Amino acid sequence: MGDRHRLTTAVRGRGTIAALGALYVALAFGWAFGQLAAGHPISNVALVAAFIGVPGLILLYGAYRVPRTDVRPEFFSTIATWCLGGAGLLLGMLALYQLEPAESVSNPLRAALVLTAFGAAAGFGVGVNDALAKTRAHEIEQRNRELKRVKRELDETVARLEAANREFEESNERLEQFAYAASHDLQEPLRMVSSYLTLVENRYGDDLDADGREFIAFAVDGANRMREMIDGLLAYSRIETQGEPFEPVDLDAVFEDVETDLRIQIVESDATLEIPSLPTVSGDSNQLRQLFQNLVSNAIEYSGDDPPRVTVAAERNGSHWTISVEDEGIGIDPADADRIFDVFQRLHGREEYDGTGLGLALCERIVERHGGDIWVDAEPGEGSTFSVTLPAADSESDASQPVSAGEP
């Protein structure tokens, strides 16, 4: 991509974000003047104007801040597209809601302004993540090309896999720094939105109509979910750099910790966990605890209407153990068996099941760091079995025949 084209794309993308922010700020003032002139209460007018104007200010600040982040200029248009998409999505949802014969919003124009403003601001946050991911992919692609060139030029010596290892470690450090910076930059406007919403709710809660309270609930929920996604992305990026050295890990102790962590979920759902005596593997105990906590929690959450029953099993296969977590829940379509491990992939709407779409992606990253595999065997309505392979603590010994855990 030429420098001139890249510059033009960057200017357009940043200009679109700024123009959208300025538009909502202007609409906020216009709405306020019109409503005050019509004699509406100042508190309600101020609230609605804030709902429209604050996202506009976030977009204006974002347009100013984006060039000072790690996002490459050619990806500014990606953020602008997400902003417009977020606004369009919520506008479409409002339109569908209006078409319901028995339900409608009392003031569609006001609802459209507020929802699209928050949609654009939310789209900005997602767009920054997307643009940062594309920037990282571009940098990794460039680094891979550079590493290939270096590998061709260097001799087959020990001094060269060490040079490569140093490059890899530096790349991981930069990735962690990038993830932290992205998390910090995105958390700031989220904290501002949450603080203002809390202030508005405390100060004007008694004056709000049903629409106003619903808008606050939507906004708070969106901010909380975005914060969870940011925290999940940060954890995902730190699997390699923040991991502990491998050591023998007693999986019995790991699952005891998992049961303790999930005690409230287990009691509230009346779940039954069947966990046999488990082997010792080689790995990072904290990451393995996170891995199996995610798998067991999912097994409980997606149990359907019946009380959950989760069964854990272990089988020796050569130098590895295969650990499986089986449930009797709603199951998974085999066509989605690979897709569920992708980042932000969800098979169900948020109104059915909560979550960020990062849990299984995090599990896969942990298993990959341990040199193993993760997969699922499932059918819709027939439950699911998630299996992972982990290195045995005594992997140097001869264990060519499969042995079940607990056998002599």
The structure tokens listed for 227 are: 């914060």
Which residue stretches of the chain have pLDDT < 70? 1-7, 100-105, 155-165, 168-187, 228-242, 336-338, 342-357, 395-408
Which amino acid is residue 34, in one-letter code? G
pLDDT for 173: 66
Concatenated DSSP letters of 67-102 = GGSS--GGGHHHHHHHHHHHHHHHHHHHHHHHH-TT
- b/e sequence 335-361, b meaning 16+ C-beta within 10 Å: eeeeebbebeebeeeeeeeebbebbbb
Alpha-helical segments (H) within 100-158 = 108-153
**Using one digit for the tens of pLDDT, what is the confidence trace for 283-341?**
999 889 989 998 999 899 888 778 899 999 999 998 999 999 998 888 887 776 667 77
**Ramachandran assignment for 318, one of left (phi > 0), alpha (psi -120 to 50 degrees), beta (any other):** left
The identity of residue 381, as a single letter, is G
What are the tokens at 408?
């002599």
Computed on alpha carbons and rounded to an integer, the radius of gyration of the chain in Å comes to 26
Say how far apart CA 105 and CA 94 lie, in whole Å.
8
In the chain the first and final C-alpha atoms are separated, in Å, by 64
pLDDT at residue 276 in the model = 93
Query: What ranges do the domains of the chain cover?
Result: 3-237, 247-404
* CATH architecture of the region 247-404: 2-Layer Sandwich (3.30)
Closest CA to 46 of 324, 171, 54: 54
Count other Cβ atoms within 10 Å, centred on residue 293: 20
In contact, 63 and 121? CB cutoff 8 Å: no
Q: How far apart are CA 16 and CA 8, in angstroms?
A: 12
Residues in CB range of 1: below 8 A, 6 or more apart: 74
Helix (H) or strand (E) holding 318: none
pTM (two decimals) = 0.47
What sign does the CA torsion over 21, 24, 29, 32 have?
A: negative
Record the tokens describing residue 382, joined without a space: 């027939």
